[in-house]
Amino acid sequence: MTPMAKIRAVPTALRSATARGEHRVPRAICAIQTRRSIATNAAIREPSVDFPGGVPPVQTPQRKSALEKRIAAVKEAKPFSDFLTDTFSRQHDYLRISITERCNLRCLYCMPEEGIPLSPAEHMLTTPEIFYLSSLFVSQGVTKIRLTGGEPTVRRDIVPLMHQIGSLRANGLRELALTTNGIALHRKLDSMVEAGLTGVNLSLDTLDPFQFQIMTRRNGFEAVMKSINRILEMNKLGANVKLKVNCVVMRGLNEREIIPFVEMGREKEIEVRFIEYMPFGGNKWSQGKMISYQEMLDIIRTKYPDLRRVAGHKNDTSKTFEVPGFVGKVGFISSMTNDFCGTCNRLRITSDGNLKVCLHGNAEVSLRDVLRQGNDGRPIDQEAFERIKQLEMDRHEGRLSDETVLGWGERERELLDVVGAAVKRKAEKHADMGDLENMTNRPMILIGG
């Protein structure tokens, strides 16, 4: 069995151990972790350019070969794609793709009370189209893809789709993440980990089952908690899925639960992120309902005055804190009162194929329409995908003239031009709070969480 096959077999080992009631780490996982430790330690021991004390380590043939490879990789590294770089030198290496408009909840801040008309099925991106766009963006430097919705787990073929996108790790993809409400996640989690899932952002706005029904207009609290516990259980066995719980705080509804959410991280490796309530189409936003990042901090510090800031990554959307002695972390997404536009590296594709360069901007361009030009505007299923790919392969080998039906290459260039032009139009920052309230934008469920 190849090393990759053994890694993919880990969730199977997890399921077998769990079924037998075993809580120790299966030997397969131990072996993988041991190999990872050896590889990590070997990397740490590699000689650096500057030798402490001026004395280089003993240079073995293996070390010399590894060092030469690393030097060659640096020399051959390509500059980041101009198509994904905006006029403020922000490099967009993070792509969020909404794969459905459908959802099994009706959250107050996401879905208008009267619901939304769903787009016709033929307007939605097909699985081959999603995979092709994923491949295209990864080829230009995207290293992280997050699947969103609606609720992505309601899409029937989400696991095969994740397997396809997961295969792009060979082309530079590093992270495959999911944003979900957790209702159905526990049933598909093992298969998703096998497909390459590395992170889950789980939306949960209350720890009270009755309040859950009020805020989501549905039942399902127990299923959500089951999904959280399943991730934590799998992580103890070596799955290494980053778990973040996202909580939108709304005055008069759930601000009293800020402290209980913080205390989820006392003994559990969870980062709870509190999100300022944001205006989207139909969610009846008002400034009075919004609780600011600073007010949330003040609430937490009434009980935990030692709450302290933790250093983060330059592209983080949240400001991260910790309570000394707690295992978990606390984050704040302050889009309304303290934006992070200057380091934004995210692009979004909606489920109907539009590119949005800013969550709070209402400008969109259709990638779907460009993609389907060579298929008479019809959705590209697997058969059509293979046919178009073969046309381009034939063109590349000189078997077709430029006068034939458009091949993949020309469409690809046009798609990149459309993407590049949209990215170059991205503003330095989104509108201020007062302007956002009066701007026309899609409901959140039609953008993608």
Domains of the chain: residue spans and CATH: 82-347 (3.20.20.70)
Q: Enumerate the β-bridge partners of residue 199.
A: 177, 242
Task: State residue 124's pLDDT score.
Answer: 96
Distance CA 178, CA 196 (A): 11
Q: Which of 7-16, 37-46, 175-184, 368-377 has the lowest mean pLDDT?
A: 37-46
Return d(Cα 414, Cα 421) in angstroms, integer: 11
Least Cα distance to 161 among 206, 115, 128, 125 occurs for: 128
Residue for token pair 């400034």? 287
pLDDT at res. 15: 44
What is the SS3 assignment for 376?
Answer: coil
Buried b or exposed e, range 352-376, using 16+ CB within 10 angstroms: bbbbbbbbbbeebbebbebbbebbe
Residue 337 three-state SS: coil
> Which pLDDT value is given to residue 262?
98
pLDDT of residue 22: 41
Q: Quote the CA–CA distance of 84 and 366 in Å, as a whole number.
A: 16
Q: Take residue 56 and report the two structure tokens written for it.
A: 């280089």
Higher pLDDT, 139 or 29: 139
Q: What percent of the chain has pLDDT over 90?
A: 55
Report the C-alpha gap between 219 and 214 in whole angstroms: 9
pLDDT for 48? 40
Q: Which residues pair with 366 in a beta bridge?
A: 354
Higher-confidence position of 1 and 378: 378
Q: How confident is the model at residue 230 (pLDDT cuts 50, 70, 90)?
A: very high
420-434: average pLDDT: 80
> What is the pLDDT averaged over residues 247-260?
94
Does position 374 have pLDDT exceeding 80, yes or no? no
What is the pairing mode between strands 319-322 and 308-309? antiparallel
258 with 303: CB under 8 angstroms?
Answer: no
Residue 16's pLDDT band, with cuts at 50, 70 and 90, is very low
> How confident is the model at residue 362, as a pLDDT?
75
The answer to whether the beta carbons of residues 15 and 197 sit under 8 Å apart is no
59, pLDDT greater than 50 = yes
Res. 8: pLDDT tops 50: no
Q: What's the pLDDT at 104? A: 84
Across the range 50-68, mean pLDDT stands at: 59
Distance CA 293, CA 258 (A): 12
Q: How many CB atoms lie within 10 A of CB 30?
A: 13
Tokens of 190: 């093992």
- State pLDDT tens for residues 293-335: 999 999 999 999 999 999 888 788 789 999 999 999 999 998 7
Whether the pLDDT of residue 133 is over 60: the answer is yes
Strand partners, 322: 308
Look at residue 26 in the predicted model and tell me its pLDDT: 37
Contact criterion met (CB below 8 Å) for 183 and 215: no
**Alpha carbons 121 and 241: distance in angstroms, whole number:** 32
SS3 73: helix
Q: What is the mean pLDDT of the chain?
A: 81
Taking the C-alpha atoms of residue 87 and residue 73, their distance in angstroms, rounded to an integer, is 28
Most confident residue range from 11-25, 152-166, 266-280, 394-408: 152-166
- Over 70: is that where the pLDDT of 20 sits? no
**Joined tokens for residue 295:** 């007010």
Quickly state the pLDDT bin for 370 (edges 50, 70, 90).
very high
Does pLDDT of 57 surpass 60? no
pLDDT band at 40 (very low <50, low <70, confident <90, very high): very low
pLDDT for 21? 41
At 170, the amino acid letter reads: A
Q: In what order do the strands lie in the sheet with 94-98?
A: 308-309, 319-322, 329-333, 271-276, 242-249, 199-203, 175-180, 144-148, 94-98, 346-349, 354-356, 365-366
Mean pLDDT of 40-62: 47
More confident residue, 442 or 1: 442
Above 60 in pLDDT, residue 32? no
Mean pLDDT value across residues 421-433 = 81
pLDDT band for 189, please (50, 70, 90 cuts).
very high
| Upper half-sphere CA count for residue 351 (Cβ side, 13 Å) | 27
74 pLDDT above the threshold of 70: no
Q: Which residue has the higher pLDDT, 113 or 12?
A: 113
Percentage of the chain lying above the pLDDT 70 cut: 72
pLDDT digits (tens, 9 = 90+) for 77-104: 668 999 999 999 999 999 999 999 988 8
In this prediction, residues 198-203 reach a mean pLDDT of 97
Residue scoring higher pLDDT (252 or 195): 195
Q: Where residue 67 falls among pLDDT bands split at 50, 70, 90?
A: confident
More confident residue, 359 or 206: 206
Contact 13, 29 (CB under 8 A): yes
Largest CA distance in the chain: 73
Banded model confidence at residue 35, pLDDT cuts 50, 70, 90: very low
Q: Is the pLDDT of residue 437 over 60?
A: no
